[in-house]
Structure 1
Amino acid sequence: MNPIIRNILAVIAGIVVGSIVNMGLIQVSGSIIPPPEGADITTTEGLKATMHLFEPKHFIFPFLAHALGTFAGAFVAAIVAANHKLKFALGIGVFFLAGGIASVFMLPSPTWYTIVDLTLSYLPMAYLASKLATRNRSATTVNLD
Protein backbone atom coordinates (compact mmCIF):
# COMPACT_ATOMS: atom_id res chain seq x y z
CA MET A 1 0.00 0.00 0.00
CA ASN A 2 1.15 3.52 -0.73
CA PRO A 3 2.89 4.89 2.40
CA ILE A 4 0.99 8.18 2.23
CA ILE A 5 -2.37 6.41 2.17
CA ARG A 6 -1.22 4.13 4.98
CA ASN A 7 -0.15 7.11 7.10
CA ILE A 8 -3.48 8.86 6.51
CA LEU A 9 -5.25 5.68 7.60
CA ALA A 10 -3.01 5.56 10.69
CA VAL A 11 -4.18 9.01 11.75
CA ILE A 12 -7.85 8.27 11.08
CA ALA A 13 -7.69 4.91 12.86
CA GLY A 14 -5.84 6.44 15.80
CA ILE A 15 -8.41 9.18 16.26
CA VAL A 16 -11.36 6.78 15.90
CA VAL A 17 -9.98 4.12 18.26
CA GLY A 18 -8.84 6.70 20.82
CA SER A 19 -12.24 8.39 20.75
CA ILE A 20 -14.08 5.09 21.18
CA VAL A 21 -11.94 4.12 24.18
CA ASN A 22 -12.32 7.61 25.70
CA MET A 23 -16.09 7.71 25.32
CA GLY A 24 -16.51 4.10 26.43
CA LEU A 25 -14.75 4.81 29.70
CA ILE A 26 -16.72 8.01 30.22
CA GLN A 27 -19.98 6.12 29.60
CA VAL A 28 -19.24 3.42 32.21
CA SER A 29 -17.70 5.77 34.77
CA GLY A 30 -20.99 6.72 36.41
CA SER A 31 -21.93 3.10 37.03
CA ILE A 32 -18.58 2.33 38.68
CA ILE A 33 -18.12 5.56 40.65
CA PRO A 34 -21.58 7.16 41.01
CA PRO A 35 -21.71 10.93 40.60
CA PRO A 36 -22.35 13.05 43.70
CA GLU A 37 -25.90 13.22 44.98
CA GLY A 38 -27.81 15.87 43.04
CA ALA A 39 -25.22 16.23 40.26
CA ASP A 40 -26.51 16.44 36.71
CA ILE A 41 -23.83 14.87 34.52
CA THR A 42 -25.97 14.67 31.41
CA THR A 43 -25.31 18.23 30.24
CA THR A 44 -22.39 20.62 30.21
CA GLU A 45 -24.45 23.17 32.12
CA GLY A 46 -25.33 20.58 34.76
CA LEU A 47 -21.67 19.64 35.15
CA LYS A 48 -20.65 23.27 35.50
CA ALA A 49 -23.30 23.91 38.13
CA THR A 50 -22.45 20.85 40.23
CA MET A 51 -18.67 20.56 39.76
CA HIS A 52 -18.16 21.82 43.32
CA LEU A 53 -19.78 18.59 44.57
CA PHE A 54 -17.20 16.34 42.92
CA GLU A 55 -14.56 14.62 45.06
CA PRO A 56 -11.14 13.43 43.86
CA LYS A 57 -12.54 9.93 43.22
CA HIS A 58 -14.88 11.39 40.59
CA PHE A 59 -11.89 12.46 38.50
CA ILE A 60 -10.38 8.97 38.24
CA PHE A 61 -12.40 7.88 35.22
CA PRO A 62 -12.06 11.12 33.28
CA PHE A 63 -8.28 10.84 33.75
CA LEU A 64 -8.30 7.17 32.71
CA ALA A 65 -10.49 7.97 29.71
CA HIS A 66 -8.09 10.65 28.53
CA ALA A 67 -4.95 8.62 29.22
CA LEU A 68 -6.15 5.26 27.87
CA GLY A 69 -7.97 6.82 24.93
CA THR A 70 -4.80 8.63 23.90
CA PHE A 71 -2.72 5.50 24.52
CA ALA A 72 -5.00 3.30 22.40
CA GLY A 73 -5.19 5.81 19.56
CA ALA A 74 -1.44 6.42 19.52
CA PHE A 75 -0.74 2.69 19.68
CA VAL A 76 -2.95 2.01 16.67
CA ALA A 77 -1.44 4.93 14.76
CA ALA A 78 2.10 3.70 15.48
CA ILE A 79 1.26 0.18 14.35
CA VAL A 80 -0.50 1.23 11.14
CA ALA A 81 1.86 4.05 10.10
CA ALA A 82 4.25 3.13 7.31
CA ASN A 83 7.08 5.25 8.75
CA HIS A 84 7.77 7.94 11.37
CA LYS A 85 5.76 5.91 13.89
CA LEU A 86 6.75 8.07 16.87
CA LYS A 87 5.68 11.23 15.04
CA PHE A 88 2.28 9.77 14.20
CA ALA A 89 1.75 8.55 17.76
CA LEU A 90 2.72 11.96 19.15
CA GLY A 91 0.43 13.59 16.58
CA ILE A 92 -2.45 11.62 18.04
CA GLY A 93 -1.30 12.74 21.49
CA VAL A 94 -1.34 16.38 20.37
CA PHE A 95 -4.81 15.91 18.86
CA PHE A 96 -6.19 14.61 22.14
CA LEU A 97 -4.22 17.20 24.13
CA ALA A 98 -6.00 19.90 22.14
CA GLY A 99 -9.29 18.31 23.17
CA GLY A 100 -8.13 18.26 26.79
CA ILE A 101 -7.21 21.93 26.66
CA ALA A 102 -10.60 22.75 25.14
CA SER A 103 -12.25 20.75 27.91
CA VAL A 104 -10.44 22.83 30.55
CA PHE A 105 -12.01 25.98 29.08
CA MET A 106 -15.48 24.44 28.74
CA LEU A 107 -15.72 22.70 32.12
CA PRO A 108 -14.26 24.10 35.31
CA SER A 109 -12.17 21.57 37.19
CA PRO A 110 -9.86 21.71 40.18
CA THR A 111 -6.40 23.07 39.39
CA TRP A 112 -4.72 19.88 40.61
CA TYR A 113 -6.78 17.80 38.18
CA THR A 114 -6.12 20.15 35.26
CA ILE A 115 -2.36 19.93 35.85
CA VAL A 116 -2.34 16.15 36.28
CA ASP A 117 -4.60 15.58 33.29
CA LEU A 118 -2.81 17.86 30.84
CA THR A 119 0.69 16.76 31.83
CA LEU A 120 0.20 12.99 32.20
CA SER A 121 -2.74 11.93 30.02
CA TYR A 122 -1.70 12.91 26.55
CA LEU A 123 1.90 13.22 25.38
CA PRO A 124 3.41 10.76 27.88
CA MET A 125 0.79 8.16 26.95
CA ALA A 126 1.36 8.72 23.24
CA TYR A 127 5.11 8.34 23.72
CA LEU A 128 4.66 5.16 25.76
CA ALA A 129 2.26 3.72 23.18
CA SER A 130 4.75 4.44 20.40
CA LYS A 131 7.56 2.73 22.30
CA LEU A 132 5.42 -0.32 23.03
CA ALA A 133 4.14 -0.52 19.45
CA THR A 134 7.64 -0.39 17.99
CA ARG A 135 9.39 -2.45 20.67
CA ASN A 136 9.29 -5.61 18.60
CA ARG A 137 8.91 -4.49 15.01
CA SER A 138 8.34 -7.96 13.58
CA ALA A 139 5.50 -8.68 16.00
CA THR A 140 3.73 -5.35 15.45
CA THR A 141 4.06 -4.93 11.72
CA VAL A 142 0.70 -4.82 10.01
CA ASN A 143 0.64 -5.79 6.36
CA LEU A 144 -2.09 -3.81 4.61
CA ASP A 145 -1.14 -4.95 1.12
Structure 2
Amino acid sequence: MVRRILAVPAGLIAGIICITIIEKIGHQMYPPPAGAGSDDMVAMKNYVAQAPFMALFFVIMAYAVAGFVAGFVASKVARNGKHTSAAVCGVIFLCITLYMMASLPTPIWFWVLGIAVWGLVFAGSRLALKTKKI
Protein backbone atom coordinates (compact mmCIF):
# COMPACT_ATOMS: atom_id res chain seq x y z
CA MET A 1 0.00 0.00 0.00
CA VAL A 2 2.79 2.45 0.91
CA ARG A 3 4.59 1.69 -2.37
CA ARG A 4 1.48 2.60 -4.36
CA ILE A 5 1.13 5.87 -2.47
CA LEU A 6 4.80 6.78 -2.97
CA ALA A 7 4.72 5.74 -6.64
CA VAL A 8 2.87 8.84 -7.80
CA PRO A 9 5.18 11.40 -6.15
CA ALA A 10 8.19 9.40 -7.37
CA GLY A 11 6.85 9.45 -10.94
CA LEU A 12 6.05 13.16 -10.73
CA ILE A 13 9.51 14.01 -9.39
CA ALA A 14 11.18 11.95 -12.12
CA GLY A 15 9.03 13.68 -14.75
CA ILE A 16 9.76 17.15 -13.39
CA ILE A 17 13.49 16.43 -13.45
CA CYS A 18 13.21 15.39 -17.12
CA ILE A 19 11.23 18.49 -18.03
CA THR A 20 13.71 20.75 -16.25
CA ILE A 21 16.77 19.24 -17.92
CA ILE A 22 15.34 19.19 -21.44
CA GLU A 23 13.85 22.68 -21.18
CA LYS A 24 17.22 24.01 -19.94
CA ILE A 25 18.85 22.50 -23.03
CA GLY A 26 16.18 24.16 -25.16
CA HIS A 27 16.79 27.50 -23.44
CA GLN A 28 20.50 27.18 -24.16
CA MET A 29 19.76 26.72 -27.86
CA TYR A 30 16.85 29.18 -28.03
CA PRO A 31 17.28 31.62 -25.14
CA PRO A 32 14.22 33.56 -24.08
CA PRO A 33 14.56 37.34 -23.75
CA ALA A 34 16.01 38.56 -20.45
CA GLY A 35 12.63 39.79 -19.20
CA ALA A 36 10.71 36.60 -20.00
CA GLY A 37 10.55 34.69 -16.75
CA SER A 38 7.93 32.77 -14.88
CA ASP A 39 7.24 35.81 -12.69
CA ASP A 40 6.45 38.11 -15.67
CA MET A 41 3.51 36.58 -17.49
CA VAL A 42 3.20 39.40 -20.04
CA ALA A 43 6.81 38.97 -21.17
CA MET A 44 6.33 35.20 -21.24
CA LYS A 45 3.20 35.53 -23.42
CA ASN A 46 5.11 37.79 -25.83
CA TYR A 47 7.98 35.30 -26.00
CA VAL A 48 5.74 32.29 -26.63
CA ALA A 49 3.79 34.18 -29.31
CA GLN A 50 7.02 34.90 -31.22
CA ALA A 51 9.13 31.87 -30.27
CA PRO A 52 10.63 29.80 -33.07
CA PHE A 53 9.12 26.36 -33.73
CA MET A 54 12.04 24.47 -32.19
CA ALA A 55 11.89 26.51 -28.98
CA LEU A 56 8.33 25.30 -28.45
CA PHE A 57 9.10 21.81 -29.75
CA PHE A 58 11.72 21.40 -27.00
CA VAL A 59 8.86 21.76 -24.51
CA ILE A 60 6.94 18.99 -26.29
CA MET A 61 10.05 16.78 -26.28
CA ALA A 62 10.45 17.47 -22.55
CA TYR A 63 6.83 16.46 -21.95
CA ALA A 64 7.24 13.29 -24.01
CA VAL A 65 10.35 12.13 -22.16
CA ALA A 66 8.80 13.11 -18.83
CA GLY A 67 5.65 11.15 -19.59
CA PHE A 68 7.59 8.01 -20.44
CA VAL A 69 9.92 8.30 -17.45
CA ALA A 70 7.12 9.17 -15.02
CA GLY A 71 5.10 6.15 -16.15
CA PHE A 72 8.13 3.88 -15.86
CA VAL A 73 9.17 5.11 -12.40
CA ALA A 74 5.63 5.12 -11.00
CA SER A 75 5.00 1.54 -12.14
CA LYS A 76 8.38 0.32 -10.89
CA VAL A 77 7.83 1.87 -7.47
CA ALA A 78 4.23 0.64 -7.17
CA ARG A 79 5.15 -2.93 -8.15
CA ASN A 80 1.51 -3.95 -8.35
CA GLY A 81 1.40 -4.98 -12.01
CA LYS A 82 -1.06 -2.20 -12.92
CA HIS A 83 -0.88 1.08 -14.80
CA THR A 84 -2.80 3.01 -12.13
CA SER A 85 0.08 5.01 -10.64
CA ALA A 86 1.35 5.90 -14.10
CA ALA A 87 -2.13 7.01 -15.16
CA VAL A 88 -2.43 9.27 -12.12
CA CYS A 89 0.92 10.88 -12.99
CA GLY A 90 -0.26 11.37 -16.57
CA VAL A 91 -3.52 13.01 -15.49
CA ILE A 92 -1.73 15.38 -13.10
CA PHE A 93 0.80 16.39 -15.76
CA LEU A 94 -2.00 16.77 -18.34
CA CYS A 95 -3.93 19.12 -16.05
CA ILE A 96 -0.84 21.26 -15.52
CA THR A 97 -0.16 21.27 -19.27
CA LEU A 98 -3.74 22.32 -20.08
CA TYR A 99 -3.48 25.18 -17.61
CA MET A 100 -0.19 26.37 -19.12
CA MET A 101 -1.47 26.10 -22.69
CA ALA A 102 -4.60 28.07 -21.76
CA SER A 103 -2.46 30.74 -20.06
CA LEU A 104 -0.05 31.21 -22.96
CA PRO A 105 -0.70 31.84 -26.67
CA THR A 106 0.33 28.39 -27.88
CA PRO A 107 -0.39 27.27 -31.45
CA ILE A 108 -2.84 24.46 -32.25
CA TRP A 109 -0.09 21.94 -33.04
CA PHE A 110 1.25 22.52 -29.53
CA TRP A 111 -2.18 21.76 -28.08
CA VAL A 112 -2.48 18.53 -30.05
CA LEU A 113 1.00 17.27 -29.19
CA GLY A 114 0.91 18.68 -25.66
CA ILE A 115 -2.13 16.56 -24.89
CA ALA A 116 -1.08 13.46 -26.82
CA VAL A 117 2.40 13.05 -25.34
CA TRP A 118 1.08 12.36 -21.85
CA GLY A 119 -0.22 9.04 -23.18
CA LEU A 120 3.42 7.98 -23.12
CA VAL A 121 3.03 7.29 -19.40
CA PHE A 122 1.42 4.02 -20.51
CA ALA A 123 4.40 3.14 -22.73
CA GLY A 124 6.74 3.74 -19.80
CA SER A 125 4.47 1.77 -17.51
CA ARG A 126 4.24 -1.11 -19.97
CA LEU A 127 8.04 -1.27 -20.21
CA ALA A 128 8.34 -1.19 -16.42
CA LEU A 129 5.88 -4.05 -16.07
CA LYS A 130 7.74 -6.15 -18.65
CA THR A 131 11.21 -5.70 -17.15
CA LYS A 132 12.58 -7.69 -14.25
CA LYS A 133 11.45 -6.50 -10.83
CA ILE A 134 13.97 -4.49 -8.85
- Give the TM-score category using the shorter length: 0.7 to 0.9
Q: 2:74 is matched with which residue: 72, 77, 83?
A: 77
* CA displacement, residues 84-111 of structure 1 (integer Å, 9 cap, x when unaligned): 5311111111111111111111111011
Residue number in structure 2 paired with 1:122: 118
Query: After the TM superposition, which residues 103-142 of structure 1 pair with which residues of structure 2 at under 5 Å, given as runs?
Result: 103-119=100-116, 121-123=117-119, 125-136=120-131, 139=132, 141-142=133-134
Residue number in structure 2 paired with 1:25: 22
- Check the 8 A contact 1:39/1:46 in 2, yes or no: no
Alignment of 1:59 with 2:56, yes or no, is: yes
- Check the 8 A contact 1:14/1:73 in 2, yes or no: yes
AA at the equivalent of 2:18: V
Larger radius of gyration: 1
TM-score, length-normalised on structure 1? 0.81
Alignment of 1:42 with 2:37, yes or no, is: yes
- How many residue pairs match? The answer is 132
Structure 1 residue 118: deviation in Å? 0.9
- Check the 8 A contact 1:79/1:85 in 2, yes or no: no
Alignment of 1:15 with 2:12, yes or no, is: yes
Change (3 A) 1:118 1:108: same
- Structure 1 unaligned residues grouped into runs of 5+: none
- Check the 8 A contact 2:49/2:105 in 1, yes or no: no
Q: Percent identity?
A: 27
Distance 1:106 1:92 in 2: 21
